[in-house]
Structure 1
């Protein structure tokens, strides 16, 4: 809904020694937030890599950017298109000036207690605190469920 409270979260996965994010601001927020003054409320956290194996001395880390906003403050259609084109040579590519870093973008709907994560042109993850709130997705788009997820998801909803 238009007035739902949303956390717009971007995780950028990079190496500890990579100074890219210290030199340039994250392009995704400049392009896809309508009111640039909102950028002053952007939170940044440096975290151990979310992919880090505890047994390895991994030098990677995750930069997490979080902005609290409303749907109307985002250019979300353009952002979702850019995520879909990320694996292709396209002008909307989000990390085109830092291709060695990976990223994940999440929309956390605090009002509905749901998380939406479009990972690329092949699909998305949708999570909810209450499975009944997304049952309609399971029923309407069941044929979109990937085979390797189907058994687990079917058990959840049946």
Structure 2
């Protein structure tokens, strides 16, 4: 099944990744670390204890939502200004997939951003399991993207950093870790939402309203 067909059938919208996640029903917003800060107190130095906690939390979330034998989509979206050269989004697959010989397995889509002078290049690939990805390094790169001192990190070739999404098509779960601060988990089934809401309640972002139908 093509990715857009999957989103249309299971999330009622082929453009679900372009929605405001904070306003979508059955969505969780989680902080990756609440107790520590990025910078050490009374210093300009990075607080590596903070980043270690962030790495651990993002890894625990990923391995909980994507079990060893679960298939998953890896989706990379890059925003560019309309007049800029075409975006190269495939480098994420080249660097973080263990076997990327079959480039033709990638689904590609180019989308103009409504009411903005931008375009989105989207690549997606359905993988047999999480073991196909060097996911520990990929998660760290996502969390490190705003800190040039840290490695691994995405190459700064684009106007924006790439947006990385993980989709579990068997469980209808979308995980979007936007940076070191936190993530969204999108769901389409209330039972799973309530279960994860309870499981991760201590990590949920303050002030985030879960706008879902409770009836």
Structure-2-length-normalised TM-score: 0.61
- 1:76 deviates by 1.2
Number of the residue aligned with 2:178: 119
Confirm or deny: 8 A CA contact 2:81 2:119 kept in the other structure.
Answer: yes
Confirm or deny: 8 A CA contact 2:78 2:89 kept in the other structure.
Answer: no
Q: Of the candidates 91, 94, 103, which is equivalent to residue 30 of structure 1?
A: 94
Could you list the structure 1 runs, at least 4 aligned residues long, displaced by more than 3 angstroms after superposition.
154-158
Number of the residue aligned with 2:210: 153
SS of match in other structure, 1:80:
helix
SS of match in other structure, 1:37:
coil
Q: Of the candidates 28, 32, 40, which is equivalent to residue 104 of structure 2?
A: 40
1:55-94 map, 5 Å: 58-69=116-127, 70-89=129-148, 90-94=150-154
Alignment RMSD: 2.2
Q: Does 1:128 align with 2:187?
A: yes
Confirm or deny: 8 A CA contact 1:15 1:61 kept in the other structure.
Answer: yes
- 1:157 deviates by 7.2
Structure-1-length-normalised TM-score: 0.81
SS of match in other structure, 1:83:
helix
- 1:148 deviates by 2.4
- 1:27 deviates by 1.9
- 1:145 deviates by 1.3
Confirm or deny: 8 A CA contact 1:5 1:111 kept in the other structure.
Answer: yes
Q: Does 1:17 align with 2:76?
A: no
Structure with the larger strand share: 1
Q: Which runs of 5+ in 1 are unaligned?
A: none
The one-character-per-residue Cα deviations of 1:90-111 (angstroms, maximum 9, x if unpaired) are 232214233x223211111101
Q: Distance in 1 between matches of 2:86 and 2:160?
A: 9
How many pairs were matched up? 147
Q: Distance in 1 between matches of 2:171 and 2:189?
A: 9
Confirm or deny: 8 A CA contact 1:95 1:101 kept in the other structure.
Answer: no
- 1:130 deviates by 1.0
Q: Which runs of 5+ in 2 are unaligned?
A: 1-66
